[in-house]
Structure 1
Amino acid sequence: MNMLISVIIPVFNEELNIPIISNSIAAVFEQLTLDYEIIFVNDGSTDNSLQALKEAEKTNENIYYISFSRNFGKDNALLAGFDFAKGDAVITMDADMQHPPELIPKLIALWQQGNAVVYTYREDKNEYAKKINQLSSTLFYRLINHLSDVDLEDGIADYRLLDKKVVAILNNLHEDRPFFRGLVKWVGFQQTGIPYTPQARAAGTTKYNHKALVRLALQGLTSFSVKPLNIAIYLGFSFSALSICYLPYVIYSLLYGKAISGWASTIVTIVFFGGLQLMILGIMGIYLGKLFMQSKQRPKYIIDEMNIR
């Protein structure tokens, strides 16, 4: 029996890129002796992405699509693809052609050598990314590696191959907002990574703005560690200990009748500690919010239509 490879591609307003990426993947598999299926997950696009998927389906019987009722996020789109993928291995990639399809044979070759996970990380980002984005990416991965139990390479991408046993485990996780870049590392098994050079987008503009990246960073940090809560406790004890150092000056002033001046410094101190308390409460609020959303047990996504039977 020939092996089947499933390729999962989340789509959000990528109508111009859909025919390009589907034709490119089809051309790659024409050179391989493997069966394949391409599962596009339309994550609530507001352009003509769904129509583009229906047109692509007419030209390639290996193309399938799942269309959400609204935008549920990229990781939930990947989860939907996992739920319906039938392949012995699953490849996830973006629709904008920045993940080169020409790398697929290498991913499959490394999987056939016994690796349950073959992930990719950006090696050369200078040409297509601003230095400020590179710096923020580096800081994020260093921070999450320091504060969590997973080790993520700088520039790790959603372009990866997963064995079906790994996909089965990911499907059985019931996290409200899965962070697959970390979860794939967390499940373990034999893994290997390969570098790639991101290509320029074939069409359109990136859907990730700074707000979305900050949200992704907070999601990643709070999904794999409670160390931020521990840091908040240490900060509280540290500043409480420092405040004790102010007592000798207060006692001296009372005994010798010295006026305690410094209204401005007092206000600054109050504002500083008020901000610190709000930051700690915010950290706690993020974790409580995740528990609250998890307790609702709402579906991760809602399908409007699909052509998978």
Structure 2
Amino acid sequence: MTVLAIVVPCYNEEEMLPETIEQLRALRQQLIDEQLISSESKIVFVDDGSRDRTWTIIYKACLRYEEIKGIKLAGNAGHQHALLAGIIAAKQMAHCVVTMDADLQDDIYVVREFVRKFQEGYDIVYGVRKKRDVDSYMKRWTAETFYRIMNRIGVKLIYNHADYRLMSRRAVEALAQFREVNLFLRGVVPLLGFPSTTVYYDRKERKAGVTKYPFMKMIRFAFDGLTSFSMMPIRFVSLLGFCSFVVSVLFALYVLFLKMTGHTQTGWTSLIMSIWLVGGLQLMAIGLVGEYIGKVYQEAKQRPRYIVDVDLLNGPMIARHEREKLAEEIS
């Protein structure tokens, strides 16, 4: 029977986490009763260096429930790396891994369809939103624009898919071979090439806590994804520079013609506009080149993508002093 692991990265989720734990436990039991998954299936929470009581809640749940497992990262590695840490850790205990966020905005009962698709032979099952009506207009517009740009430049992204997906063990093992530091899972997973399908669902509104992707962070995330998978931006700047050069040559010929015909007039508007235009293009080009150089610099250092502080996949005995302290609180 299928052994499932549900991986949930968490960052400052103390308000939402208790309900998330209870709902996922109830879902797991339902799937076991329906004989879709084995009783050996687990739920793995990854604390991504939270500053609130998130880890305490996860630790208590590990002590109370055998099916709950926890991993604590030494620092805030970022959502994508925390997700990867949970996926890699869970691959040895399960036939397939489902990843989802802790805010319960994704319909958790779609996991039932994920498992059925996996049992039909699919290695990757993408959870895709039917619509984005719970998002603000700005967030919806920027997200849709991002997907269009990425698809236009040849990056294989699943439209309206975030990180709610199922992956088989062999898909996870293939994913583990990608060693890049600048991780963008939404772009990496489709590169694996294994049989895949999609399941559509309605996304809910967040019940508690705040989003971990405000507007500026979402923009940075999108830019990281764009520059991690395509040379198109830097080629676009090169093309823009070439076009600017051609326009400058034509403008110089025009000014030379006016001078030869005696129609020149003194003025500074055209000069200032030209300086600003060329200066802006240069700064933009330098900044974009620097972005790529920075990514090469990060990759060349080969630093670990995350560091595990506490690993409770094999039980809470790893940190005995914390276990005794929290056991007293539970009682």
CA distance in 1 between counterparts of 2:280 and 2:145 reads 23
Whole-angstrom CA distance in 1 between matches of 2:257 and 2:184: 55
Partner amino acid for 1:141?
Answer: Y
1:75, 1:177 within 8 Å by CA — same for their partners in 2?
A: no
**Any residues of structure 2 matched to 1:150-189 within 5 Å, and which?**
150-153=156-159, 155-189=160-194
Q: Is contact 1:148–1:227 with CA below 8 Å preserved after alignment?
A: no
Is the 1:4–1:87 Cα contact (8 Å) retained in structure 2? yes
CA drift at 1:253: 3.8
Instruction: Structure 1: give runs of 5+ residues left out of the alignment.
Output: none
- Mapped pair 1:301 → 2:300: no
- Segments of structure 2 that go 5 or more residues without pairing to the other structure are 315-331
Checking the alignment, whether the CA contact within 8 Å between 1:147 and 1:221 is kept in structure 2 is no
CA contact (8 A) 2:106 2:164 kept: yes
Alignment of 1:121-200 (within 5 A): 121-126=128-133, 128-153=134-159, 155-200=160-205
Amino acid at match of 1:107: F
Deviations 1:136-160 (A, max 9, x none): 110011011112331331x212110
Whole-Å Cα distance in 1 between the matches of residues 263 and 205 of structure 2? 69
1:215 aligns with 2:215: no
Counterpart residue number, 1:20: 19
Deviation per residue, 1:78-120 (Å, 9 max, x gap)? 1111221121100000001111211111110011111111011
Q: Percent identity of the aligned residues?
A: 34
Deviates more, 1:238-247 or 1:287-296: 238-247
* CA gap 1:260/1:176 in 2 versus in 1, 3 angstroms: farther
Amino acid at match of 2:153: L
TM-score, with length taken from structure 2: 0.89
Q: Which residue identity is paired with 2:2?
A: M
Calculate the TM-score normalised by the size of structure 1: 0.95
Cα distance in 2 between the residues matched to 1:195 and 1:268? 50
Preserved CA contact (<8 Å) 1:76 1:177: no
Does the CA contact (< 8 Å) of 1:57 and 1:63 recur in 2? yes
SS at match of 1:246: helix
Q: How many residues in Structure 1 have an aligned counterpart in Structure 2?
A: 306
Partner of 1:109: 116
Is the contact made by 1:5 and 1:91 (CA closer than 8 Å) also made in structure 2? yes
What is the distance in 2 between the residues matched to 1:41 and 1:151? 25
Alignment partners' CA distance in 2, 1:199 and 1:247: 58
For residue 168 of structure 1, report the CA deviation from its aligned partner.
0.5
Cα RMSD over matched residues? Answer: 1.5
Aligned residue number for residue 245 of structure 2: 240
* TM-aligned CA deviation for residue 258 of structure 1: 4.1
